[in-house]
Amino acid sequence: MSFDRYVAICQPLHYAAIMKQQLCTYLVVAAWVLGFTLSSYHLVLLSKLTFCGPNKIHHFFCDNSPLFKLSCSDTSLLWKIDSVFLSFVLLGSLCLILVSYVRIFHCILHMPSASGRKKAFATCSSHLTALAIVYGSCIVLYAQPSEGVSLETNTVVALLNTV
């Protein structure tokens, strides 16, 4: 998404030549394959858990933190692996987006007309707001070992992320 915005703002005359159907298809397929590949590790982690107590999750969706807390297995290593892996995924994708937006802002600041700068900033502002909410809540939820975080806090932040 941010690559599309980068091309639209920084290279508007080349947009049609760069953003061809084939490139869009490759980008979508790459995102889906990467998403399925990276999320499949959750299945491996969760398949190793044993549950011997109550089977009700005190959460509004099946997230790692409530599942780990319900498990009677030793989950200390799983908490650490999950935290490191998700931090890598979250911060890696966030860095790619931020690099794209730094380049966008550089292009915007060098635009000759004030109305052009205003229009370009308006185009990006809603996306940046959504990114701040999603990445902020995801970092709070997943980029730290949430072993000590209460389920109530986890639920409130997850609700913000979901909405």
Only one residue has tokens 């990276």, namely: 38
> Which two three-digit tokens encode residue 73?
């297995």
Per residue in 3-62, pLDDT (tens digit) is: 777 888 788 788 888 888 898 899 889 889 988 887 887 778 788 888 887 777 776 677
Report the distance separating Cα 160 and Cα 163, nearest Å.
5
Residue 87 near residue 142 (C-beta atoms within 8 A): yes
pTM for the complete prediction? 0.69
Report the distance separating Cα 22 and Cα 19, nearest Å.
8
End-to-end alpha carbon distance in the chain: 20
Report the distance separating Cα 144 and Cα 83, nearest Å.
6
Per residue in 101-135, pLDDT (tens digit) is: 888 888 888 888 888 888 888 878 888 888 888 88
